[in-house]
Structure 1
Amino acid sequence: MLSSFYRYYLQLGRTFIHLDGIPALAIRLYLVPVFWMAGTSKLNNFDSTVAWFGNADWGLGLPLPWLMAALASATEALGAILLLLGFGTRLISIPLAITMLVAAFTVHWQNGWQAIADASAPFANASVHTASEKLERAREILQTHGNYEWLTESGNFVILNNGIEFSITYLILCLALLVMGGGRYVSLDHYVGLKHSVNCNH
């Protein structure tokens, strides 16, 4: 019984082997707008980005802020283009992963895990519990003095906690692409690899 189940399991794996590029494609397309928005936003406001990177009072207090801002901006914007094409996927995944790691520990770490404050979540910290009280107070004000139905017709109000959740998620996805590559049939990496293989055999 167990051996029959295992044979079916192996057959299932062989059946889907030619679709193994789809998860890599899905991850790439998921990350493209994330990194494009982050990179171009930094580039469009480059002076402010440099000031934020370098200021120790209200920013990150990083050394060489101009260089760090330029590297982060270029990595994210260029990374989005390369991920869209599936070209150099493993290579660009390394600096993108490093960027997310730096963001997690320099920007978001002190806020805990959650990106959005939710007091019912298992990793809710003190600031999240305080945020839920503020959110309830804000709702009361809007219900009393504002058009609450119109304001919430596109979704409920939330308070951002700005924790490490998103940056760690993107880091994990970059690590997955580092292993998977751009994906079979759905990336330039695949066809460049095929051409290289053909050339090597002649």
Structure 2
Amino acid sequence: MTLLNFYQTFLSKSQNLSGLPPLLFRLILAPIMIIAGYSKLGLSENPETFLQAISALPSIVSWFGNAEWGLGLPFPSLLAFLAAWTEFLGGWLLFLGLFTRIVSIPLAFTMFVAITTVHLENGWFSVTPTNSETSAAKVLDWLNVPGAKASLENSKQASERLNKMREILEENGYTEYLYETGKPVILNNGIEFGFIYFAMLLSLFFTGGGRLFSIDYWLSQSFFTQNHVK
């Protein structure tokens, strides 16, 4: 019983820091969203008109609309504009913890669109595991999940190709320079990162910006205090 009381007391006291996980989610997501939106806008290209300044870059609009090498979406100018500003402004709101629940909805939607239109056909992994023994697909293979064996086989083939690339680089020199900032990997461009971001945004929709560490919290406290006084 003493242990149970200790656990209950610890759990109750720990709620004082319940805003820490939302804060960490926000700090991870905010820079990603801000730079994603910023890179779609012409903010750094000295536009001649205000309309050009607030519109998505022509290359982004083309990518949104072209069905052959892009997303093939209707109304590409409008959708690119909305996506860019949703990410850019939404990222700053996440950083501040302001209107967190509200802004999480369109940001999660942009992640869903990115997952289904850009990454889904590439499977799960963003970076191909090159060691089948440590790949998460091995656990799924134990459970006989369809596609797991194929993923493990792909890891073995990717490992062979990556090792071959490294051999070629070592034979031709400059490996110290080429590996100075990190070793090469095989990019798979799957849904892994996008799905993780989507899950984090979904969590923020339910939790809000978090206790103590968001503007939302202090605004709600002020609102509650004013109503309580009245």
| Fold similarity call, TM over 0.5 | yes
Instruction: State yes or no: 1:169 paired with 2:196.
Output: yes
The aligned amino acid for 1:104 is I
Of residues 9, 14, 23, the one that matches 2:21 is: 23
For residues 128-185 of structure 1, the C-alpha deviation after alignment (integer angstroms, 9 at most, x for no partner) is 5554443223212211113112321332211210000000000000011111111111
- Which residue number in structure 2 is paired with residue 108 of structure 1? 119
- Give the fraction of aligned pairs with identical amino acids, expressed as a percent: 44
SS, match of residue 153 in structure 1: coil
Provide the residue aligned with 2:93 in structure 1.
82
Partner amino acid, structure 1, of 2:205: L
- The 1:56/1:130 distance shift into structure 2, 3 A limit, reads farther
CA deviation after TM superposition for structure 1 residue 43, in Å: 1.1
Of residues 42, 59, 66 in structure 2, which corresponds to 1:55? Answer: 66
TM-score (norm 1): 0.92
Partner residue, 2:6: 8
Q: Unaligned 5+ residue runs, structure 2?
A: 43-55, 138-147
Instruction: Give the 3 Å change call, closer, same or farther, for CA 101–164 of structure 1 in structure 2.
Output: same
| Root mean square deviation, CA, Å | 1.8
In the alignment, which residue of structure 2 is the partner of 1:36? 34
Match among 62, 78, 86 for residue 67 of structure 1: 78
> Could you tell me how far 1:125 is from its partner in structure 2?
6.8
**Deviation for aligned residue 1:5:** 3.6
Which residue does 2:168 correspond to in 1?
Answer: 141
Write out the 4+ residue segments of structure 1 that deviate beyond 6 Å after TM superposition. Answer: none
CA separation in 2, counterparts of 1:144 and 1:168? 39
Q: Distance in 1 between matches of 2:215 and 2:152?
A: 44
- Where in structure 1 are there 5+ consecutive unaligned residues? none
The 8 Å contact of residues 113 and 165 in structure 1, kept in 2 or not, is answered as yes
